[in-house]
């Protein structure tokens, strides 16, 4: 089940982010942005959704509109739950929400050093639109027409 996150979910979301992104810390040379995100502020803004199964948070997604485009800011699945299709479910949830709200495009970025993500997003129909530095990270930007 995917649902809007509650304040009581924030600790589990933070743990999921650290578990999911810490393997990239050495490769990037610093903590990936999701490891230090303010999930309380994100939850308060209504932009944080969790994937829950067996009363446990398996993953989460953060998305919100920016300049007429739905922006997928962050997606993470607990490493223990990889390979079960949860990442795809979360992306499909965000895409469906974007369509329901009348958005024609969904945008996202990933770190240039997280090459595994390129194949994941491209297989879902996302097209690379550029690469540049942002907030001290080398990012790869993608768009998908809905």
Residue 132 reports pLDDT greater than 90: yes
Domains of the chain, start order: 2-145 (3.40.630.30)
97 Cβ contact partners less than 8 Å away, ≥ 6 residues apart: 63, 70
Q: Mind listing the pLDDT tens digit for each residue in 8-30?
A: 999 999 999 999 999 999 999 99
Give per-residue pLDDT as tens, 29-43: 999 999 999 999 999
H or E element at residue 9: none
Distance CA 7, CA 53 (A): 18
Helix (H) / strand (E) containing 73: strand 69-77
Which run of H or E residues covers position 57?
Answer: strand 56-66
pLDDT of residue 49: 98
pTM, two decimal places: 0.94
pLDDT of residue 66: 96
Per-residue pLDDT at 96: 98
pLDDT digits (tens, 9 = 90+) for 68-125: 999 999 999 999 999 999 999 999 999 999 999 999 999 999 999 998 999 999 999 9
Task: State the pairing for strand pair 127-134/56-66.
Answer: unpaired
């Amino acid at each position: 089940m995917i649902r809007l996150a509650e304040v009581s979910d924030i600790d589990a979301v933070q743990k999921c982010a650290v578990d999911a992104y810490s393997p990239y810390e050495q490769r990037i040379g610093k903590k990936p942005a999701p490891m230090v995100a303010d999930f309380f502020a994100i939850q308060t803004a209504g932009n944080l959704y969790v994937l829950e199964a067996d009363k446990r948070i398996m993953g989460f997604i953060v998305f919100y509109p920016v300049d007429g485009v739905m922006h997928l800011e962050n997606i993470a699945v607990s490493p223990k739950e990889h390979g079960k299709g949860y990442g795809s479910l979360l992306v499909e949830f965000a895409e469906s929400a974007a369509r329901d709200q009348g958005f024609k495009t969904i945008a996202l970025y990933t770190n240039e050093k997280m090459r595994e993500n390129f194949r994941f997003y491209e297989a879902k129909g996302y097209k690379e639109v550029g690469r540049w530095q942002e907030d001290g990270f080398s990012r790869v930007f993608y768009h998908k027409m809905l």
